[in-house]
Chains A and B, each alone.
Chain A
Amino acid sequence: MLKVSRWYQDHIGQFRDTPEFETERLLVDLTEELVAHMDRQDISRAELARRLGVSRAFVTNLLKGSPNLTIKTLVRVAYAAGLNIEISMQPKWLTNIRKYGFLIDATQPSVDLNEAHMDQLPDDVSALAA
């Protein structure tokens, strides 16, 4: 369960439930998956650039996670690395459970986000959180 301080919630956590935050989260998650795969398969940035027919700088910029990354580019990169991408849409309450481990708690001095999210949850979510 993710715990956040009051200061963090007031200044940064307040953006969590926004398209911008979700975009950044997806970009960071995707680039982490790509880097982990490249490490496991011993694919260097130069090698990925060669497979894509682009410069090494292009790959570096890609890994920085530009918000302007298109699905077309994303799929090309995945293919070059030997991966597929699956995109699906989920209810927000369900992805929040998966991302934050059911509900968000807070440290002291704290803000309790559990209550704020309760109205978005169905009656029985225990099975979904597994």
Chain B
Amino acid sequence: MLARVLVQNKWTVSVLEEGSRCRVEQFLVGLDRQAKTRFGVLFERTANEGPIQNDTQFKYIREWTLWEFKSQQWRILSFKIDEERHIILTNGFKEEKSRIPKAELERADRMRAEYLASLEEEPSA
């Protein structure tokens, strides 16, 4: 599980890769221009200023220790590593009936756990 940088300034926003597959990039490619633009603005603001404070655009999902970027009905799940000023995007989806599908939460949670575990497996310098 590899984190690859999307945008970076004071904070880093990355995507997770599973092998050669990146769920977030595949998701973003399929969006219309307005949704891509909003996500781009949110990612760049996050990189420049830190996490978005407005919870209609970036919201903590308490039970899952995850955060969601929001643009219209589209959602991208992520997790934060505050000490590294790093936000890592896991997966994106369309929210229906104002609920996040449990399968998407479980996927993000699994990806987060695998990524954090892979950091611990890295040999120390």
Residues of A within 8 A of B (CB): 1-5, 7-8, 11-13, 15-16, 18, 20-21, 24-25, 28-29, 31-32, 35-36, 39, 60, 63-65, 67, 99-101, 107
Contact = CB atoms under 8 A, between A and B. Distances in A.
Given A20-B33, A32-B53, A63-B56, A2 B40 contact: no
A interface SS class: helix
Interface of B: 4-9, 25, 28-29, 33-34, 36-45, 47-49, 52-54, 56-57, 70
Contacts of B49: 32
**3 tightest A-B contacts by CB?**
A12-B40, A24-B41, A35-B54
Nearest to A108: B5
| Most chain B CB within a 10 A radius of its CB, from A8, A15, A16, A99 | A8
A21 B37 contact: yes
A101 to B, nearest CB: 7
